Structure 1
Amino acid sequence: MPVEEHDPFEDQFASALRQAGGTFESHRLDLAARGETRGRKIRRRRAAIAGGVTGVALVGLGGALVLPGIQTDGGRRHSVAGSPSAPPTPAASPTRPSAMSADDVVRTLERLLPKGKFSGEEGRGTGEQLPPYARVVYDDGKGKAAVAVMVDRVRPGGSQALETTACPDKVFVPYDACTSGRLADGSTLMILQGYEYPDRRVDTKLWSAELVTPKGQHISVQEWNAPAEKGAPVSRSRPPLSPDQLKMLAGAAAWRSVADAIPADPRVPTAEPSRSQGVPGGSVSATLATLLPKGAEVVKKGVADPGFGYVVIDDGKGASMVQVNVQADMSGLANQLFGSGSRTLPDGTRVATHQGPGDKGGRGVVMWTVDTMRPDGRRVVISAFNSGTQHTPATREAPALTPKQMETIATSERWFSRD
């Protein structure tokens, strides 16, 4: 599925990755069109902390994976008590602070915010299945606004840490302003001033800060100009905290203590996972550009990434985005991905074609997808849209590439050639 303006599988998932470790990786890569990694993770983190959402639905061309949800007790949300998959909370050690309850985390947020009134508190402590978070409705006298914080740990210097604090690609995430840089203590910080809905069908603003310390402590702060992220009228022209105040809130020492109180999870690998999928030593975006038919002028191209890439092309009839995923050893999902209606080419490559809506905003965007898998499990998925992004109205009647042209691109041996 493409990256969309809603968040059905958004980064309830990024935090859940810490719990499930490598188990999720193959399912995550099963998305028909991965979307730009950083942009998708930003919206996932938004969903994970906005309302305490902990369920995870990973939807690809086949199958779904759902994790346990949460229950509500007296208006304050917390992880399901006694869940068999929830790790035990060990006693504090000299190197790890005592566990913090949901109330402790919520009170920390309220203490760090400027003077105001609070309501609608929700939270999760450090000893539960998913990372601690706090969410409040904050009123500084200028209108109620939702403010939320989630605290977690990531591998210092790893790809997740780098992607977390990098500004997203505007092809996937529209925003007004974004800054990213390194602080004096070696932490990296991103401040993003964007919107709850990429298509801006409702003018709910979403501003966020993502901070990762040299020790891997990750603090994610989000604020809205409404008392809820969705379904509530805008109550003020902008969120209550300025970018500088977001920086101060995310950088507060109290959140690092919360991160240190999270019990270590033995299921999480200590080493960066190896890249087992993608173009050998190359960039999907660059390879895709070389495989386009004549007359398709590339007006924008994605960053170098061996697993995912995109181009925006214009053949004189309007912009059209084309994106590709390249994955290795996906044979375990072959029967789910290639069912009735799929074809098998003479060389054993399986091919499935799908056509349908490319968004849910009523903007006339369509997505055509050709999914291919070699006999050895190597998979290439290509999707094309009749718009230059996944969050703007259609620019043409149909994508710039035909399904036949997309199949030719997806079945090219260049995806797995080292030349």
Structure 2
Amino acid sequence: MPVEDPEERFEDRIGVALRRAGGSYDTDRSALAAAGEVRGRRLLHRRRAVVVGSVAGVALAGLGGALFVPTDGGEREDGRRSVAASARTSPDTSPNTSPGTWPETGPISGDELVAALQSLLPEGEFSGQESRGTDEPLPPFAHVVYDDGGGRAAVALSLAQVTPGGSAAQDATACPDKALVPYDSCVTSELSDGSALRLFQGYEYPDRRVDTKRWSADLVTPQGQHVGVQEWNAPAEKGEPVSRDEPPLTTAQLQDLVTDGQWRTAADRISAEPGKPTVSPGTPDVGIDGEKILSTLTSLLPEGVEVVSSGGQETEYAYVVVDDGKGKSMVQINVQNDMSDVEDELFGADARTLPDGTKVVTREGLGEKSGSGVVMRTADTIRPDGRRVVVSAFNTGGLEDDATREAPALTLGQLEGIATDGRWLTID
């Protein structure tokens, strides 16, 4: 199923929301798209291949930030505006193009990013500042613990450069499939300058084992600047008890924060640094077409099962929910190219080699929600040319649902038959 490269968490902290690897994951993400998509694609391939469990997050590390607290909820003395001044009842599609107060040239430090983030939040107390500037090897971010009097809450900002029209840009601003990622609200819109905006209200743990809420806003401009803001109703996204009923900023305030023009200027400084990779506008990511994967998977299902729903991602991942008369059962598939470099990590002594050189591993065990009786069956294969096909089936109709039947609708033999079918060699 979809998982993420750890460097893609803040690209999710940050989705790319939800990458594919036959397993289960924590939640949709989006925002750290790349450390350069070229490097990110290779790292992402490795992450998808090796990890079949939860989505991993990038650990925040960096310098503390300067305290800069607004004196009121409106216009500040320096002419900048706090998000406290802009509660709205309907979305405004006009972007804020204010350039902010960065140095005219050169890198922007982590301290400066933290100070800017704090200056745009409503009045409150700040602690736990962490950050990374635009001149460091990994993408820049700023993180603070913010208390408006209603309880301490983590707030984080990430900046990245993505390929306009590429999968990282699309993943960051598209609402996830509810069959894969439960959430309360997700709204997408296009701003007047052509930027794509997503406002998301969901949970840090989709299975709600801890009731930590995660709300986010993601902006991708036509130039490929990616700004992401996330907030939680706890002092940290994981490992801290809930401190308030909801995160502190409304969706309107999140929109104001993420669309502030100074973040675009800061994002431009990422690729302006010597030795930093730049992205090529208009060059979309290359991956195996998701619609072709879905149609091929559907054609390979055994007789006697009815497809009741389906979905997936633009490339590499698809799923169907089937019913054989005994209840719903989810079947998901990942089809990936160029996986030879991690073949030894995936296919060990338990792998069988077929006459055509394809390696096969089959497994059956408890799903991630083992306490709810979820069983997962998987057939994992890799061809001599490096194309990997991994198919999994569950005894439930959704990855975060409890078991709805005793066993998955497809046997291990049927899953292996799907994964080793020659039709996977002909799609792209």
Q: Is the 8 A contact 1:285 1:305 kept in 2?
A: no
Counterpart in the other structure of 1:114: 122
Judge which range, 329-338 or 216-225, deviates more.
Answer: 329-338
Alignment pair present for 1:101 and 2:109: yes
Matching residue's letter, 1:302: G
Q: How far apart are residue 278 of structure 1 and its match?
A: 3.0
Matching residue's letter, 2:258: A
Q: How far apart are residue 35 of structure 1 and its match?
A: 7.1
- Residues 16, 3 of structure 1: CA spacing in aligned structure 2 closer, same or farther, 3 A cutoff? closer
Return the alpha-carbon distance in structure 2 between the equivalents of residues 115 and 399 of structure 1. Answer: 52
Return the alpha-carbon distance in structure 2 between the equivalents of residues 376 and 74 of structure 1. Answer: 48
Report Cα offsets for 1:192-217 as digits up to 9, x if no partner: 00011100111111100000112211
- For residue 391 of structure 1, give the secondary structure of its aligned residue in structure 2: coil
Counterpart in the other structure of 1:48: none
Q: Structure 2: any 5+ residue segments left out of the alignment?
A: 34-42, 67-102
- Residues 331, 124 of structure 1: CA spacing in aligned structure 2 closer, same or farther, 3 A cutoff? closer
Return the alpha-carbon distance in structure 1 between the equivalents of residues 146 and 28 of structure 2. Answer: 27
Counterpart in the other structure of 1:235: 243
Return the alpha-carbon distance in structure 2 between the equivalents of residues 399 and 359 of structure 1. Answer: 15
Return the alpha-carbon distance in structure 1 between the equivalents of residues 364 and 65 of structure 2. Answer: 43
Q: Structure 1: any 5+ residue segments left out of the alignment?
A: 18-27, 46-54, 77-94
Alignment pair present for 1:356 and 2:344: no
Counterpart in the other structure of 1:123: 131
Q: Is the 8 A contact 1:9 1:59 kept in 2?
A: no
- For residue 262 of structure 1, give the secondary structure of its aligned residue in structure 2: helix
Return the alpha-carbon distance in structure 2 between the equivalents of residues 411 and 374 of structure 1. Answer: 9
- For residue 239 of structure 2, give the secondary structure of its aligned residue in structure 1: coil
- Residues 165, 140 of structure 1: CA spacing in aligned structure 2 closer, same or farther, 3 A cutoff? same
Q: How far apart are residue 388 of structure 1 and its match?
A: 1.6
Q: Is the 8 A contact 1:16 1:130 kept in 2?
A: no
Q: Is the 8 A contact 2:162 2:279 kept in 1?
A: no
Q: How far apart are residue 68 of structure 1 and its match?
A: 11
Judge which range, 296-305 or 114-123, deviates more.
Answer: 296-305
Q: How far apart are residue 39 of structure 1 and its match?
A: 6.1
Alignment pair present for 1:402 and 2:399: no
- Residues 10, 396 of structure 1: CA spacing in aligned structure 2 closer, same or farther, 3 A cutoff? farther
Counterpart in the other structure of 1:181: 189
Return the alpha-carbon distance in structure 2 between the equivalents of residues 41 and 67 of structure 1. Answer: 10
Report Cα offsets for 1:58-89 as digits up to 9, x if no partner: 374589xx99977666799xxxxxxxxxxxxx
Counterpart in the other structure of 1:327: 336
CA RMSD of aligned residues (A): 3.7
Return the alpha-carbon distance in structure 1 between the equivalents of residues 5 and 270 of structure 2. Answer: 27
- Residues 107, 304 of structure 1: CA spacing in aligned structure 2 closer, same or farther, 3 A cutoff? closer
Counterpart in the other structure of 1:338: 347
Return the alpha-carbon distance in structure 1 between the equivalents of residues 49 and 27 of structure 2. Answer: 18
Alignment pair present for 1:347 and 2:356: yes
Report Cα offsets for 1:114-146 as digits up to 9, x if no partner: 111212211121111212211111111222211
Q: How far apart are residue 408 of structure 1 and its match?
A: 1.2
Counterpart in the other structure of 2:254: 246
Counterpart in the other structure of 1:79: none
- For residue 218 of structure 1, give the secondary structure of its aligned residue in structure 2: strand
Matching residue's letter, 1:344: T
Matches within 5 A, 1:180-219: 180-219=188-227
Counterpart in the other structure of 2:288: 278
Matching residue's letter, 1:11: E
Matches within 5 A, 1:351-390: 351-359=360-368, 362-390=371-399
Judge which range, 264-273 or 201-210, deviates more.
Answer: 264-273
Q: Which one of 7, 11, 14 corresponds to residue 14 of structure 1?
A: 11
Alignment pair present for 1:42 and 2:52: no
- For residue 372 of structure 2, give the secondary structure of its aligned residue in structure 1: coil
Q: How far apart are residue 220 of structure 1 and its match?
A: 0.3
Q: Is the 8 A contact 2:22 2:392 kept in 1?
A: yes
Q: Which one of 130, 135, 144 corresponds to residue 143 of structure 2?
A: 135
Counterpart in the other structure of 2:47: 58
Return the alpha-carbon distance in structure 1 between the equivalents of residues 262 and 397 of structure 2. Answer: 43
Return the alpha-carbon distance in structure 2 between the equivalents of residues 10 and 299 of structure 1. Answer: 35
Return the alpha-carbon distance in structure 1 between the equivalents of residues 265 and 389 of structure 2. Answer: 44
- For residue 103 of structure 1, give the secondary structure of its aligned residue in structure 2: helix
Return the alpha-carbon distance in structure 1 between the equivalents of residues 366 and 142 of structure 2. Answer: 36
Report Cα offsets for 1:40-65 as digits up to 9, x if no partner: 543978xxxxxxxxx999374589xx
- Residues 362, 62 of structure 1: CA spacing in aligned structure 2 closer, same or farther, 3 A cutoff? closer
Kindly tell me the number of residue pairs found equivalent between the two proteins. Answer: 375
- For residue 395 of structure 1, give the secondary structure of its aligned residue in structure 2: coil
Q: How far apart are residue 356 of structure 1 and its match?
A: 2.5
TM-score (norm 1): 0.78
Q: How far apart are residue 331 of structure 1 and its match?
A: 3.8
TM-score (norm 2): 0.77
Matching residue's letter, 1:33: G
Return the alpha-carbon distance in structure 2 between the equivalents of residues 225 and 242 of structure 1. Answer: 12
Q: Is the 8 A contact 1:3 1:390 kept in 2?
A: no
Q: How far apart are residue 329 of structure 1 and its match?
A: 4.2
